[in-house]
Structure 1
Amino acid sequence: MTLSFLNAQAKVIVAALTIGAFAIGLDTFVIIGALDVISRDLGISTAAAGWIISIYAFCYAVFAPLNAWMFKGMSRRSIQILSIAIFTIGNLVRAIALDYVIIIAGHVIADVIQKGRSIKIATDTRPGKAADKPSWKETEKGLNKIADTLGRNRLARDIESEEIIELIRPIYERGAKSMADHVRSYMHAAFSWGMKSDNDYRQQSARRFRIPFNPATGIPTEPKVKGTRWLDEDEFVQLYRWLECRDTPVHPPYTRAVRILMLTGQRVEEIASLHIDQWDAKEKIIDWSTTKNDQPHAVPVPNLAAELISSINVNEYGWFFPSAKDPSKPVSHGTLYSFMWRQRDRGVIPYVTNRDLRRTFKTLTGKAGIPKEVRDRLQNHALQDVSSKHYDRWNYMAEKRAGMMKWDKFVRAMLAKKHVKMAA
């Protein structure tokens, strides 16, 4: 893959900006070797001349965050050019100055603007929705790998469909069909965002991607395989009992999280990241302000789940299910998937994924006599009628509570029946 994607004019501009940025960085240190000469010329001590360098640290501490905020509406290119221009003026003042105070003033002028530059250049203030999604970390990781492969500094409009295909093909050929589909989706979403950003009249950024078309549009997606696996009553009890009394050391929060999944039927990423602020112990309700389908969701939990949640001591960060490696973060849904894989491969639990547990809840709650509409509301499925699209999270609360009471009795009966059968 060639990286000769810049035209002659662009190369000149990039070279000029690069040299300018290098000069700005070099300016801070080159003066150290001239302190003795400066002190003699101005008739001051070497220590006083050293303040010319110390003022750099002061300007950096004070003006870096201020400048990043003040110039947040400007494009990175404009900030870089403005920075170099004012830096040049400041250096000219120092070059012709015959007074110590004027030299210090010139140094401040040169430093004030450019110390916030590095912060702003490394950010993008345009609005986006990625960070609001539960899976944004996984998406960011995937996009970083793609950028490293295609060339992180390449212009988006120069990426061709063939390059994306060559990126995806090896992933597909090694059998990771789902991952290949994810990579295609990441690329398609990234280019779509860039094209929409160019045409978004609501934002004032001067930056434009100028992407003529989305190169990932014509790449076919992998046919979706609809899952059909769900646990019958015996398998449900087998898994639940093992999670209560496991035969191998397991990080306790992981087993509790899976039991909550079984009892509530919620999405794995939402239960995994359950925080104390989302739990209303008095009302026995979990309340999410945003979920995967961008809708708020409040769900009453069955008494079994409420008892389990109330027995958990959240950690100092407020997580019910903290990560074993980093308690400041919740366990990732990927870790819960891995945990389930390891146990089912040992043969101690039924063959099941966390998504199968959500399907199991839908199926067994139907067997318990809960209407489909209420089950959809409980699981926060995206309904297409007008009232559902503008649905208040507290609507249908009475129906949802009644449904969860039925489900609680059904689960207790299952566990008791199987327990009696095993005792006999």
Structure 2
Amino acid sequence: MAVGKITKTSVEGVVLPPEGKRAYLWDDKLSGFGVMVTHKGVRTYLLQYQMGGRGFKTRRVTIGRHGSPWTAERARERATDLKEMVRKGIDPFDDARMRLLDAIENSRDAARLAFDGYVETFAQKYVDAKGLRSGEDIKAVLRRDLVPTFGKRSLSSIRRSEISDALDTIAARSVSAAIKAHKWLRKLFSWAVDRGDIGASPMEGMAPPGKDGERTRVLKGGELRVVWNAAGEMPEPYRSFVRVLLLTGQRLREVAGMRWSEIDLDKGEWIIPAARTKNKRDHLCPLAPMVIDILKARFPTKESRKGPVFTNDGKIPINGFSKPKAALDGHVTSELQKDDTDELPMMQPWVFHDLRRSFSTGCQSLGFPIEHTEAAINHVSGKRGGLVRVYQLWEYQPEKIAVMSAWARHVEAVVSNDPNNVVPLQAARA
């Protein structure tokens, strides 16, 4: 057994042992402190000790491999600290094992609670599992507005002040977006608390960054013409999607999720199943000739009319509307520059849902009773069963056809920008 002062020179001077063997150099001053050398030249500092003194089992604990950061001097200091632990009755081997297990567990927790990954867990196990109607929007808010900020930060390390800063940044762009981000981030944290993944939510009692008031934006006249023409500059399926959205007044996801199995072009009918409507009622939406023409132009043969109507891959309906809306806004700006009526020097911000409100307001302006307009857009509440539920599908059907046809004629007149072709208001019902 070689004994001597452990220094950089003496450690590196230990002769390599035969293959499969180990060579040791033990310090002549600090008992139990040594270096182990393998036949491949790996030199590792260690401490050998006996809990309880002589007669007890000898144990060894590894300090570290020779080199940076473990020099002979630093290894000696660490060995001295370990011997003090032994003197106090603390077994360094058990302590090192516990530290290793804690480190592994902390590493696993860090990976499991990394914000970007946890967003996906929340999306799958909460948003998707509950089948939330606005699920895609919820996931888009978290992924677009919050994941870039918090990245792989552990959920438990995110501070309230950091969340406030992130929401302020989002609010500078859109108060509405900041309110949505606040709502769903708060839900994500409370869900994590319920699961026992974190002890407390940093957003407990945090007020939203503003108040999202009731929207009243209505697009009229030249604005509808600009949006229609701007949609014409977009690629399919978005060109047709925006125009059908404008003409039918139905909800964004109802139109986006339109399937050929729901449509009878010969009858001019689109039955939206209860599973896809907000009020969970089947809805028969008459299709004006303009809508039918749009659909037939894209799908001229019956063989091509399968699956979702508005799709990028032929398999799933379009979803995620922020990028298409941004592209549409760009085309709107271009159309405003080309518009020569001087009635639209600028256009106030709008969202897709404003097209539905424009439809409703416009149809009332055309002289239709509110109950007919609301029937046309399925803005009806209340649950019914039995035969009543069957017959309600046909409620106000002649009136709904009249509403849809008049609105389409009005849009056609506006789009043509021909004052001689404008539909008179009250006369639209004729």
- TM-score tier after normalising by the smaller chain length: 0.5 to 0.7
Distance in 2 of aligned mates of 1:10 and 1:368: 77
**Is contact 1:233-1:414 (8 Å) kept?**
no
Distance of aligned partners of 1:238 and 1:179 in 2 relative to their CA distance in 1, 3 Å threshold: closer
Distance of aligned partners of 1:224 and 1:416 in 2 relative to their CA distance in 1, 3 Å threshold: closer
Distance of aligned partners of 1:388 and 1:151 in 2 relative to their CA distance in 1, 3 Å threshold: farther
In the alignment, what sits opposite 1:404?
Answer: 400
| AA in 1 matched with 2:285 | P
**Is contact 1:298-1:394 (8 Å) kept?**
no
- Unmatched segments (≥5 aa) in structure 2: 1-95, 113-119, 423-430
Distance in 2 of aligned mates of 1:363 and 1:302: 19
Report the CA distance between 1:362 and its aligned residue: 0.7
Report the CA distance between 1:124 and its aligned residue: 8.5
Q: Cα deviations across residues 135-194 of structure 1 (Å, max 9, x unaligned)?
A: 4344334434635644646355x654333213323333x444333223212211213434
Distance in 2 of aligned mates of 1:167 and 1:208: 25
Q: How does 1:297-316 map to 2 (within 5 A)?
A: 297-304=282-289, 305-313=291-299
Distance of aligned partners of 1:282 and 1:414 in 2 relative to their CA distance in 1, 3 Å threshold: closer
Report the CA distance between 1:256 and its aligned residue: 1.6
RMSD in angstroms over aligned alpha carbons?
Answer: 4.5
**Is contact 1:293-1:382 (8 Å) kept?**
no
In the alignment, what sits opposite 1:264?
Answer: 248
In the alignment, what sits opposite 1:222?
Answer: 210
**Is contact 1:188-1:215 (8 Å) kept?**
yes
Distance of aligned partners of 1:143 and 1:234 in 2 relative to their CA distance in 1, 3 Å threshold: closer
Distance of aligned partners of 1:191 and 1:306 in 2 relative to their CA distance in 1, 3 Å threshold: same
Whether 2:317 is the aligned partner of 1:320: answer: no
- Unmatched segments (≥5 aa) in structure 1: 1-7, 21-75, 77-121, 199-206
Report the CA distance between 1:341 and its aligned residue: 0.8
In the alignment, what sits opposite 2:154?
Answer: 154
| AA in 1 matched with 2:288 | N
In the alignment, what sits opposite 2:354?
Answer: 356
Q: How does 1:25-424 map to 2 (within 5 A)?
A: 128-130=126-128, 132-133=131-132, 135-144=134-143, 146=146, 149-150=149-150, 152=152, 154-156=154-156, 159-172=158-171, 174-195=172-193, 198=194, 208-209=196-197, 211-212=199-200, 215-233=203-221, 235-236=223-224, 240=228, 242=229, 246=232, 249-281=233-265, 284-291=269-276, 293=278, 295-304=280-289, 305-313=291-299, 318-323=307-312, 328-331=315-318, 332-346=320-334, 347=336, 348=338, 351=347, 353-381=351-379, 383=381, 386-387=382-383, 396-411=392-407, 413-414=409-410, 421=419
Distance in 2 of aligned mates of 1:171 and 1:381: 32
Distance of aligned partners of 1:175 and 1:333 in 2 relative to their CA distance in 1, 3 Å threshold: closer
In the alignment, what sits opposite 1:15?
Answer: 103
Distance of aligned partners of 1:18 and 1:341 in 2 relative to their CA distance in 1, 3 Å threshold: closer
Secondary structure at the residue paired with 2:203?
coil
| AA in 1 matched with 2:220 | D
Secondary structure at the residue paired with 2:255?
helix
| AA in 2 matched with 1:320 | V
Secondary structure at the residue paired with 2:237?
helix
Q: Cα deviations across residues 40-90 of structure 1 (Å, max 9, x unaligned)?
A: xxxxxxxxxxxxxxxxxxxxxxxxxxxxxxxxxxxx9xxxxxxxxxxxxxx
Secondary structure at the residue paired with 1:290?
helix
Secondary structure at the residue paired with 1:128?
helix
Secondary structure at the residue paired with 1:396?
helix
Q: Cα deviations across residues 187-223 of structure 1 (Å, max 9, x unaligned)?
A: 112134345xx3xxxxxxxx63364456254233322
TM-score by length of 2: 0.54
**Is contact 2:288-2:404 (8 Å) kept?**
yes
Identical columns (%): 19
Higher strand proportion, which one?
A: 2
**Is contact 2:376-2:404 (8 Å) kept?**
no
Higher RCO (Cα < 8 Å, 6 or more apart)? 1
Report the CA distance between 1:337 and its aligned residue: 1.6
Aligned length: 297
Distance of aligned partners of 1:308 and 1:377 in 2 relative to their CA distance in 1, 3 Å threshold: same
**Is contact 1:288-1:298 (8 Å) kept?**
yes
| AA in 1 matched with 2:331 | Q
Report the CA distance between 1:417 and its aligned residue: 6.0
Report the CA distance between 1:363 and its aligned residue: 0.7
Distance of aligned partners of 1:337 and 1:416 in 2 relative to their CA distance in 1, 3 Å threshold: closer
Secondary structure at the residue paired with 2:395?
helix
**Is contact 1:368-1:406 (8 Å) kept?**
no
**Is contact 2:128-2:135 (8 Å) kept?**
yes
Secondary structure at the residue paired with 2:179?
helix
Distance in 2 of aligned mates of 1:13 and 1:381: 58
Distance in 1 of aligned mates of 2:197 and 2:385: 33
**Is contact 1:374-1:399 (8 Å) kept?**
no
Distance in 1 of aligned mates of 2:278 and 2:98: 42
Distance in 2 of aligned mates of 1:14 and 1:392: 64
Greater Rg by CA:
2
